[in-house]
Amino acid sequence: MDTIKFGTDGWRAVIAKEFTFENVCRVGKAIAIYLKKHGKDKHPLIIGYDPRFLADEFAMEIGKICSKAGIRVLISDKDAATPVIAFSVRDKKACGAVMLTASHNPSKYLGIKFIPEYAGPASPEIAKEIEGLSNSSSEPEPAAPMSIEKFDPNEAYERYITKFADLETIKKAKLNIVYDPMHGSGRVLLPKLLAKAAGKLTLLNENRDVLFGGKNPEPAEENLKELSAKVVELNADLGLATDGDADRFGVVDRHGSFFSANQVLSLVFWYLVEHKKFTGSVVRSLATTHMIDRIAEKHRIKVHETPVGFKYIAEIMMKEEVILGGEESGGLSIKGHIPEKDGLLADLLITEMVAKTKKPVDQLWQELISKFGDCAGEKVNLPISAPDKEKLVRFLKTSAPEALGGQKVTGRTESDGVKLLLEDGWVAVRPSGTEDIARVYFESGSEKKVADIEKDFGRILQKLGI
């Protein structure tokens, strides 16, 4: 029997290898047992799925298991975005949701994400309990079967999201927009919303394709070349993208230049504070830009730093008023919204910002760095063995250098790997728990400073024989 192991946001595996009907049913039974054990089965369970191969069939199998366990099931009538399914939990007063998705991963992968009744990522405790039940031989207690009903989750979300995105302001600006859903679930709803507001809308890759056009459905710069080219060709104001399940976003400016998630998060945070007058705190993961801290300092806003994973951001968003919660991998949510990352909302907020300020993204970014200083960053996936991971982390914790790239090391945090704080920037090292890599993040006030820090970090690796 395969061991099912939950990662940062649920269980993911290769279709027909580990992700089989047998193993999916094991997870389905575990979720049913969890819901009944904690007395949550009196409310319906939402089930959704992204456009991947067999995702709808796997979703129905889980629906049948939960129905036989006495849990009423509401299953999406078509593939849907993860944030839409998460909102459905709140809208339908459900006990939670099961989302069949592998998000931005390659097409050969599929996954199961459990969303509890609070409409955000499962806490580590909930995930651990469901993981344990998945690897046991436990069966749900028999009960009178409940109904399996199909529903359209997009209708309620479409009405709801206009509370957070001003479509009327966008409409007045008559923007020329290009949107690339990357063959994912964003194609189901976002074109409809943009069509109501954009002056001109051009769609790319708007058909369902289980192979995602042969690319990873991740809105990273290397995967959005077609979007960049189309924006330039059409002289568009803005290029937008979402990943496979539309919980992550991508942005391209009028010149076809890609804007990183760190830049977008900084711009949206600034816009919410300066133009929409949001109040509260701000939450970012440890690998996310400190440009957010600079903006927060000016406005006397408290900053929370969390380990990587939106579930940690969600925990704080449920405890206090948070203006923005964000992570550098492309996750964003805002005050009043569900505590789950939402690429649809992120794209709408960027569009509203351009419409409201009557300034293009690149100009807004230049204005931001003129106020708060430049900010450059880089992420490196470092190939490294398990013993060398331990050696590197141990060295940084016990024998960290006094300086990197000519900058003094001013502090260190160890909440998730090791993060060294510098006079003008930081370095974070996060060893992967599943792969022979360590993710290394660099940030400083210029590309040259980042290069200098990276060079010194390379000398440390040489010294350690890594």
> For position 142, what pLDDT does the model report?
86
**pLDDT at residue 377 above 90?**
yes
* Average pLDDT of the segment spanning 367-371: 96
The pLDDT value recorded for residue 435 is 78
Predicted local distance difference test score (pLDDT) of residue 2: 84
The verdict on domain 11-155 having CATH code 1.20.1260.10 is no
Average pLDDT value for the chain: 96
Residue 458 scores a pLDDT above 80: yes
Read off the pLDDT of residues 202-257 as tens digits, 9 standing for 90 and up.
999 999 999 999 999 999 999 999 999 999 999 999 999 999 999 999 999 999 99
115-142 in b/e burial notation, b at 16+ Cβ within 10 A?
bbbbbbbbeeebbebbbebbbeeeebee
Region of residue 277 (left: phi > 0; alpha: psi -120 to 50; beta: else): left
**Predicted confidence (pLDDT) per residue in 157-188, tens digit:** 999 999 999 999 999 999 999 999 999 999 99
With a CB cutoff of 8 Å and minimum separation 6, the contacts of 165 are 193, 345, 348, 349, 351, 352
What would the two tokens of residue 299 be? 């406005």
Strand 238-242, strand 176-180: pairing = parallel
Domains 170-372 and 376-464 share a fold: no
Q: What pLDDT does 313 receive? A: 97
Domain ranges in the chain are: 11-155, 170-372, 376-464
**Range 376-464 classified under CATH 3.30.310.50:** yes
Torsion of CA 250, 254, 260, 262, to 10 degrees: -100
| Residue pLDDT, tens place only, 260-309 | 999 999 999 999 999 999 999 999 999 999 999 999 999 999 999 999 99
Give the pLDDT confidence score for residue 8 in this predicted structure.
Answer: 77
Cβ atoms within 10 Å, residue 412: 13
- Is residue 455 exposed (0-12), middle (13-18) or buried (19+ Cβ within 10 Å)? exposed
Q: What is the bridge-based pairing of β-strands 96-100 and 109-116?
A: antiparallel
Stretch 402-423: mean pLDDT, rounded?
A: 95
Residue 302: per-residue pLDDT: 98
pLDDT at res. 9:
84
Number of residues written out for the chain = 466
Q: Does residue 69 have a pLDDT over 90?
A: yes
What was the pLDDT predicted at 379?
A: 94
User: Measured on CA atoms in the order 151, 152, 153, 155, is the torsion positive or negative?
Assistant: negative
**Rounded-to-integer distance, Cα 46 and Cα 354, Å:** 35
CATH dotted code for 170-372 = 3.40.120.10
Give the contacts of 265 (CB within 8 A, at least 6 positions apart).
Answer: 284, 288, 289, 292, 324, 326, 328, 332
The alpha carbons of the chain give a radius of gyration, in whole angstroms, of 22
Predicted TM-score (pTM) of this structure: 0.94
Average pLDDT over every residue of 53-80: 98
What does the pLDDT look like over 346-357, one tens digit per residue? Answer: 999 999 999 999
The pLDDT, as a whole number, for residue 7 is 83
